[in-house]
């Protein structure tokens, strides 16, 4: 004969913490970075890779540049004749990294 036991437990959330839904958290994070632009230094900190690695394995790889270049609707402004530096739109570039980073590393391992 199967038995069922019910119990109730209490979880105390510290006063300096807040519980929110994942969708609300994701929206808050997007709003936090929306309207800002990241520099190469911020991308280096977020990925843990130096500028040369980022250029060699992501930014200057033709198939990724097509996706990333702001001239094609992507989230990256590449240095141009105006002398500007790389600039990254955080929401779009974060989505790119989330989707493509595992693929990039898999390709690097197979080389």
Query: 43-83 pLDDT, tens per residue?
Result: 999 899 999 999 999 999 999 999 999 999 999 999 985 66
Phi-psi region of 44 (alpha: psi -120 to 50; beta: other; left: phi over 0): alpha
Q: Is residue 15 part of a domain?
A: no
Three-state secondary-structure class, residue 77: strand
Q: Is residue 58 part of a domain?
A: yes
Q: Which residue has the higher pLDDT, 35 or 102?
A: 102
The residues, any chain, with a CB within 8 Å of residue 54's CB and separated by 6 or more, are 40, 43, 44, 47
Is residue 64 within 8 A of residue 58, CB to CB? The reply is yes
Q: Is residue 78 part of a domain?
A: yes
Q: Is residue 69 part of a domain?
A: yes
User: Across the strands, what pairs with 87?
Assistant: 77
pTM of this prediction exceeds 0.85: no
Q: What is the DSSP letter of 75?
A: S
Q: Is residue 13 part of a domain?
A: no
Q: Is residue 12 part of a domain?
A: no
Using the predicted structure, report yes or no on whether residue 34 has a pLDDT greater than 90. Answer: no
Q: Which of 10, 106, 91 is nearest to 57 (CA)?
A: 106
Structural domain containing residue 98: 36-109
- 3-state helix, strand, coil split of the chain in percent (to 5) is 55, 5, 40
Q: Is residue 104 part of a domain?
A: yes
Q: Which residue has the higher pLDDT, 110 or 42?
A: 42
| Pairwise CA distance, residues 9 & 97, whole Å | 40
Per-residue pLDDT at 81: 59
Q: Is residue 83 part of a domain?
A: yes
Question: Percentage of the chain surpassing pLDDT 90?
Answer: 57
Per-residue pLDDT band for 104 (boundaries 50, 70, 90) equals: confident
Looking at the structure of the chain, the number of domains it has is 1
């Amino acid at each position: 004969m199967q038995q069922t036991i019910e119990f109730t437990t209490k979880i105390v959330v510290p006063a300096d913490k807040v519980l929110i839904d994942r969708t609300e958290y994701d929206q808050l994070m997007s709003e936090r970075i929306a309207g800002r632009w990241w520099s190469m230094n911020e991308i280096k900190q977020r990925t843990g890779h130096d500028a040369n690695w980022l250029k060699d394995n992501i930014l200057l790889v033709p198939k990724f540049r097509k996706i990333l270049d702001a001239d094609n609707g992507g989230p990256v402004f590449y240095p141009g004749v105006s002398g500007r530096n790389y600039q990254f739109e955080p929401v779009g570039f974060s989505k790119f990294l989330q989707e493509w980073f595992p693929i990039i590393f898999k390709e690097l391992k197979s080389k």
